[in-house]
């Protein structure tokens, strides 16, 4: 979890150093100026996790600005688009089908509803 918090803090720091919302470019064609606005890219970071039995790996791409996580179960080749969910501790994400991905102090749980399907640890 320390790594998650440190990565989240770094992502926020990087995002605050970047240009706030957009970058404008103005060019002149004849006498009327044309302005093009480009949105700044969202700051994301990635983490990898492995199940206790070593058979399943998860790859997560977190976007703190949007409160989302794209979690891929590499063994099954399935990706879950998740949103931040309330958690007493750690970081929890859920999707519309009821799947969850929860991390806390370097450990994770993946499951559906109230049932934990896979437990494991963050890997480097």
pTM score, two decimals? 0.65
72 domain-assigned = yes
CA distances, 80 to each of 13, 35, 83, 89 (Å): 27, 38, 10, 21
Q: What's the domain range around 67? A: 2-13+42-123
- pLDDT for res 18: 43
95 domain-assigned = yes
98 domain-assigned = yes
CATH number of domain containing 80: 2.40.128.200
32 domain-assigned = no
27 domain-assigned = no
- pLDDT for res 20: 42
The tens digit of pLDDT for each residue in 55-112 reads 999 999 999 999 999 999 999 999 999 999 998 899 999 999 999 999 999 999 999 9
- Name the residue among 38, 93, 100 with its Cα closest to residue 66: 93
Helix (H) or strand (E) holding 8: helix 2-17
Tally of CB atoms within 10 A around 88: 6
Mean pLDDT, the chain, whole residue set: 79
How many domains are contained in the chain? 1
30 domain-assigned = no
31 domain-assigned = no
């Amino acid at each position: 979890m320390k790594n998650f918090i440190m990565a989240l803090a770094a992502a926020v720091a990087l995002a605050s150093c970047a240009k706030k919302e957009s970058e404008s470019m103005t060019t002149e064609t004849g006498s009327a100026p044309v302005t093009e606005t480009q949105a700044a890219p969202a700051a994301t970071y990635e983490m990898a996790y492995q199940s206790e039995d070593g058979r399943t790996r998860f790859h997560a791409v977190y976007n703190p600005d949007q409160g989302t996580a794209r979690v891929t179960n590499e063994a099954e080749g399935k990706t879950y688009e998740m949103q931040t969910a309330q958690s007493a501790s750690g970081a929890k994400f859920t999707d519309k089908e009821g799947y969850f991905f929860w991390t806390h102090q370097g450990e994770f749980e993946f499951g559906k509803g109230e049932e934990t399907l896979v437990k494991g640890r963050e890997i480097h």
